[in-house]
């Protein structure tokens, strides 16, 4: 009974996160719709991740999903906090610890895969093929995130275009995780026959990833942040 309820809440929160995250991604940045949808996305992702953690613990062979759920929560929390408060260091120091704790098992897993030793973490899905490639990608992202947290913590904060970029890439990756979970796990399991993931189900992942690349280029290299800031100042005059 509790497991069924947890599944329902997990799926329901994930569905809301998909809709809200998509709205926030395509809405005018800084506008009311973007902020409102972003807040709903943040909250629903935390609910989805919380129940994913619980299911990963109570269901056999699903412990790998525990790391994925915490990773998703870490991304959206640090991304949301970046634009919801003044620059500081304490949250980034906490985030750095979380990133390092998350990074450790992935680094161990890759080391074991490279040395062909028995895997420390048991999972229903073997870490090989596409799963191993995904593990490499997650490990790289976690390493980049940890370095970013360390830079902000030791620099005393973050501001300007770098602050917006930090928010964007973390929230876009959080949306990518939600899309991937929905299409390659949820929707794929609803298909007839044994569990399989058609190649077309990977295509939606390129939408938030494409938006991530687009906005990172626009914010960091195309001067969007300065132009947007100037428009805001003009509107207040």
- Distance set, CA 106 to CA 62, 63, 96, 126, 143 (Å): 15, 13, 16, 14, 10
| Predicted TM-score of the model (pTM) | 0.84
Q: 86: exposed, middle or buried (C-beta count within 10 Å: 0-12, 13-18, 19+)?
A: exposed
Per-position pLDDT tens, the chain of length 237? 788 888 899 999 999 999 999 999 999 888 899 999 999 999 999 999 999 999 888 887 777 788 889 999 999 999 998 887 665 567 888 889 999 998 988 888 777 777 777 666 655 555 566 667 777 888 899 999 999 999 888 887 788 888 889 999 999 999 999 998 888 887 877 788 887 778 888 889 999 999 999 988 888 787 666 656 555 443 333
């Amino acid at each position: 009974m509790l497991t069924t309820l947890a599944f329902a809440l997990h799926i329901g929160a994930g569905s809301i996160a998909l809709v809200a995250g998509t709205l926030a991604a395509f809405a005018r940045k800084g506008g009311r719709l973007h902020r409102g949808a972003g807040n709903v996305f943040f909250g629903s992702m935390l609910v989805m991740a919380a129940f994913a953690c619980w299911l990963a613990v109570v269901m056999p062979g699903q412990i790998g999903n525990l790391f994925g759920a915490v990773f998703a929560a870490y991304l959206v929390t640090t991304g949301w906090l970046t634009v919801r408060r003044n620059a500081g260091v304490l949250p980034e120091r906490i985030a750095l610890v979380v990133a390092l704790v998350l990074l450790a098992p992935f680094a161990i897993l890759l080391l074991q895969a490279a040395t062909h030793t028995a895997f420390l973490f048991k999972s229903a899905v073997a870490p090989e093929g596409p799963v191993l490639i995904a593990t490499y990608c997650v490990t790289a992202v976690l390493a980049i995130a940890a370095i970013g947290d360390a830079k902000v913590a030791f620099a005393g904060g973050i501001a300007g275009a770098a602050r917006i970029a930090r928010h964007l890439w973390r929230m876009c990756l959080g949306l990518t995780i939600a899309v991937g979970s929905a299409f390659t796990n949820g929707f794929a399991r609803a298909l007839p026959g044994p569990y399989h993931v058609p190649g077309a189900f990977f295509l939606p992942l390129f939408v938030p990833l494409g938006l991530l690349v687009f906005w990172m280029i626009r914010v960091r290299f195309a001067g969007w942040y300065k132009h947007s800031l100037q428009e805001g100042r003009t509107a207040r005059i």
